[in-house]
Each structure stands twice: as C-alpha cells, then as structure tokens.
Amino acid sequence: MDAPCNPCVFYLPYPFLEALADCHALVGGVRLPLHSQILAAQSSVMRDLFLTQREGGVAAQGPSDLSAAFEGSTAAEAACLLRFLYRPQEATPAAFAALAAAGRLPGVAALAHKLDIPRPLAAIEAYLEGAACYSETGLPGLLIALQLAQGCRFKGVEARCLDALAAKLAAAAAQPAQLPRCQSMWEAVLAATDAPTLARLLCRTLEACGAAPGGGAYGAAAWPASSSSSASSSGTAVGAAASGPGGEQGAAAVDGPAGEHAAAAAAAAAAAAAAVHDVQQGSCGGFTVVIDRFSFLQQLGQPVCSSWVHVGGLEWRLVVHPRGVPGSTAEGTHLSAFVELNRSSSPAAAAAAGVVSCGLRALPPARGDACVAVDGPQPFGPDTPSRWGWERFVPLADLARLLDGDRLLLRADVAVGLDP
C-alpha cells in the first residue's frame, strides 16, 4: 500500500473534494487538503480542537492549518491514515500487511494513536493479534511490533511479542553453540527496550528457560552479560534469605498475626523477587531486581532478598525491607534497601578487603525520573559490616509513581576494588 506522488489523489475518494477542503496540513513539504467534519467525526483530538475554536469565537481566515497535529509523521504515513478515514472500508488485514511490508505500519499506528482515532487503531490491533505469526517472526520484526504495541497501548500484542522474544532468547541460550548469537540478540534487545520492558522480558525468559530443552544446563546464559562475565544462577530469590549472613528470617518463618499464612507467604515470597540482569565488567557490575506482589509483601513485613550475583569476584545481593527496617526511624515511613556481601561463600570471601561503592535506582514504569541513591566509596574488610545502603531510600508515600501495578523494579550497581 504505497502512497503515490500525489497523496491527496491517494486518499480522497472524489477529485472535487480537494476544492471543498476547509482545512489543511503541511506534512513533509506536501500540502494535504482536509475536511473538518470528516476529521471531527473520527478523531477526538480534532473534534476537541474544532469545538474549542468555535467556542472561543475563532474566525477562520481561510482553511485552518492543522500541520502541528501531524508533526513527526511523513507525508506517506499521513496519506495512508487519511485513506482509512476517507475510505474506512479499506482498513483491512491485507492493507495492514502491505503497510507492514513497506515499513509504514508503525508510523501510521502512531499517528492514529496520537490523534485518538479508534477505528483504524482497533483494526490494526486486531490484525496484529490475529494475523501475525509471532513464533516465525524474526527478532527485528518482533522488536518493531513491541515498540508499536507499547506506543499504542496494545496490551495483548505487547504480551505476545514479549512471549515470542523470551522463547527465542531461551531457545538460543539452551544450545551452547548459539551463545554468541544469544549475546548479540540481547544487545539488540537492550538497544530497543526501556528498563521496565527489559525486566518483564527477563522474567518471561527465565520462565521459558525452564521449559526449553537444555534450559536447566544453560538457562543462566540467557541473561545479557559482557564477554568477560560468568553467568550466575538465578536461584530462588527469597528462599536464599532464610539463613543468610544478615540473619533475616525467610518467608517460611513468619511469626505473629501472619503465621497462619506462612505457607502462602513462602510461595509468594519465593517468586516475589529475582535478580534478572547480571553484568560483570571487571570489578563493576549491576543487576535488576523485580519484586512482584509488593503490597502483599508489605503486609507481611518480611525482608525480600535477591539471588546472589557475581561482581568483582565476590557475591552480592539486594535486601529490601518493603515497610522499612523494623525498629528504625524508617519503619512505617520509608522503603529500606541494602547491598549485601556474601561472606560465607568461600574462605577468600570471608577474608576479602578493599573498597566498595554502591548505587541503587528505583525504576518507574513510565518514562520519568528514577529515584537514585549512591553510597561510597566505603572500605570493607573481615571486621567491617557486610551491608551498605539506605534505611530511608524511598518514602512510602512516593512509591505509587514507582510501582507498575503491584511490581517494583530496583537496579543495584556495585563497584569493587580489592586490596592486593
């Protein structure tokens, strides 16, 4: 579905309509004649604009200029969307397939979303959900479809894209010979996704690794890592906290009013947090922790611990107190979070000494400001505490903007300098 050199001929069903146009848009240097009644009938953005102009007594001096509404689009994308407005019967799967083949479907969908035109949006969403075979789509195509789905809020399409991407990444990681290819795939994913999307994809990949042939042996290699890093086991995040060096009780050891829910708490906590991104580059690295069922864990009042990850030759994890450290000034007012060193992993770890710097970010679900804290550099040794962090990291009153539904994403970064 290619727009010709004369776009208005492409989308106007009758030639005489060009002379009857009462508005226009200049898109990519091309003047597109438009009709306010057709636009107002299908676009809430255009309808509100025209009604506001009328209520404000704005008298049009010639055709209204709507160029700003089409800013960021090409003339071909605008003409294709206008064709669906002037000829709605042509919004068919075949037309969308032609647009997708020409690389224009994302731009057309984005413009329809921007102008809030529900009919073509619904038709595009139905096409993407029903016509596309995600398991046979290549990685670049899936990433384009994912970005389109996120931009237009097609939740079902987004979920299918993430599932298909996770299956491809897990399948590549399950075969040792394909690990270089898996690494290049992750590099493409990292370049095309934001942090919340990456975390959701990593969770799905973890699940897919367990189901993929060979996933038990090579599943850890599905995580993106630099060429100098060694893959770390994902483990059971909160289960490791039952008898960890910090002395926290695991979810299975709940006392008090929550005791009758101990079994449910253990099951929920075991799946609540997972270290999903381990990047080791010499003595620097980081990992993202996904905490699901956050409100439930807040009610339990138990600490949430990630899996151990390797940075600088030592093991580290994130320990989170959803309601603040009990007995501290942060209890009931702030979320507390700490980076912890595993002193019990080996004799070398028990004797390790040097300098450590830690950083922590709470990642909002939408593009916006993350909550960031930095601690360090701090000296450490066999006789110093093995935990660094922030009792008053985030006020509980500010958590709403950082939660994606009932999920919290935290990114920890560690820089280690060991004494010779």
Amino acid 282: pLDDT: 36
> What are the tokens at 305?
């611990």
Does an H or E element contain 218, and which?
helix 215-218
Q: Is the pLDDT of residue 9 over 80?
A: yes
Q: Are residues 110 and 12 in the same domain?
A: yes
SS3 314: strand
Residue in 315, 307, 391 with CA at minimum distance from that of residue 349: 315
Residue in 97, 76, 94 with CA at minimum distance from that of residue 7: 76
Amino acid 81: pLDDT: 95
Residue 42 domain-assigned (yes or no)? yes
pLDDT tens column, 126-164: 988 876 567 778 888 888 888 898 888 888 888 888 989
Highest mean pLDDT among 102-106, 195-199, 273-277 belongs to 102-106
Amino acid 225: pLDDT: 39
Using the 3D structure, point to which of 219, 242, 267 is the last residue of a domain: 219
Amino acid 255: pLDDT: 31
What value does the mean pLDDT take over residues 284-290? Answer: 80
Q: Residue 375 class from Cβ within 10 Å (0-12 exposed, 13-18 middle, 19+ buried)?
A: middle
Interatomic CA distance for residues 19 and 137, integer angstroms: 44
What is the CB neighbour count within 10 angstroms for residue 51? 11
Q: Are residues 200 and 320 in the same domain?
A: no
Amino acid 227: pLDDT: 29
Query: Which CATH number is 35's domain given?
Result: 3.30.710.10
Q: Are residues 254 and 340 in the same domain?
A: yes
Residue 299 domain-assigned (yes or no)? yes
pLDDT band at 124 (very low <50, low <70, confident <90, very high): very high
Residue in 374, 383, 386 with CA at minimum distance from that of residue 414: 374
Amino acid 244: pLDDT: 28
Does an H or E element contain 387, and which?
strand 387-395
Amino acid 405: pLDDT: 84
Residue 139 domain-assigned (yes or no)? no
Amino acid 39: pLDDT: 95
Classify residue 118 by its DSSP letter: H
pLDDT tens column, 67-78: 999 999 999 999
Q: Are residues 235 and 363 in the same domain?
A: yes
Residue in 103, 104, 96 with CA at minimum distance from that of residue 130: 96
> Would you say 1 and 94 are in contact if contact means Cβ atoms under 8 Å apart?
no
Amino acid 369: pLDDT: 64
> Would you say 333 and 396 are in contact if contact means Cβ atoms under 8 Å apart?
yes
Q: pLDDT averaged over the chain? A: 76
**Alpha helix stretches (DSSP H) within 281-403:** 294-300, 347-351
Task: Give the C-alpha distances (Å, rounded to integers) separating 212 from 20, 166, 291.
Answer: 61, 10, 24
Interatomic CA distance for residues 71 and 77, integer angstroms: 11
Q: Is the pLDDT of residue 43 over 90?
A: yes
Using the 3D structure, point to which of 199, 219, 239 is the last residue of a domain: 219
Residue 275 domain-assigned (yes or no)? yes
Interatomic CA distance for residues 359 and 338, integer angstroms: 10
Q: Is the pLDDT of residue 264 over 60?
A: no
> Would you say 75 and 2 are in contact if contact means Cβ atoms under 8 Å apart?
no
Q: Are residues 204 and 235 in the same domain?
A: no
Q: Are residues 182 and 316 in the same domain?
A: no
Does an H or E element contain 264, and which?
helix 262-270
Amino acid 130: pLDDT: 77
| Bridge partners, residue 371, by sequence | 362
Q: Are residues 186 and 115 in the same domain?
A: no
Interatomic CA distance for residues 248 and 22, integer angstroms: 71
For 381, left (φ over 0), alpha (ψ -120 to 50), or beta?
beta
pLDDT band at 308 (very low <50, low <70, confident <90, very high): confident
Q: Are residues 205 and 236 in the same domain?
A: no
Q: Are residues 383 and 238 in the same domain?
A: yes
Task: Give the C-alpha distances (Å, rounded to integers) separating 371 from 12, 335, 360.
Answer: 50, 12, 8
pLDDT tens column, 323-375: 999 999 999 999 999 999 888 877 777 888 888 888 888 888 765 566 777 76
Q: Are residues 204 and 294 in the same domain?
A: no
Contacts of 10 (CB under 8 A, 6+ apart): 3, 4, 79, 83
What is the CB neighbour count within 10 angstroms for residue 365? 19
Using the 3D structure, point to which of 176, 197, 219 is the last residue of a domain: 219
Query: Which CATH number is 368's domain given?
Result: 2.60.210.10
Residue 2 domain-assigned (yes or no)? no
Q: Are residues 322 and 380 in the same domain?
A: yes
Which residues constitute the domain of residue 178?
A: 151-219
> What are the tokens at 404?
């994606």
Number of domains the chain contains: 3
Interatomic CA distance for residues 221 and 231, integer angstroms: 6
> What are the tokens at 366?
């939408």
Q: 403 vs 371, which has greater pLDDT?
A: 403
Residue 262 domain-assigned (yes or no)? yes
pLDDT band at 3 (very low <50, low <70, confident <90, very high): low
Amino acid 343: pLDDT: 86
Q: Is the pLDDT of residue 220 over 50?
A: no
- The type of residue at 290 is V
CA diameter of the chain = 87
Interatomic CA distance for residues 248 and 255, integer angstroms: 13
Does an H or E element contain 362, and which?
strand 354-363
Interatomic CA distance for residues 98 and 111, integer angstroms: 17
Interatomic CA distance for residues 175 and 163, integer angstroms: 19
Q: Is the pLDDT of residue 24 over 50?
A: yes
Residue 380 domain-assigned (yes or no)? yes
Residue 30 domain-assigned (yes or no)? yes
Residue in 287, 266, 285, 264 with CA at minimum distance from that of residue 277: 287
> Would you say 370 and 194 are in contact if contact means Cβ atoms under 8 Å apart?
no
Q: Note if the pTM is more than 0.85.
A: no
Q: Are residues 178 and 46 in the same domain?
A: no
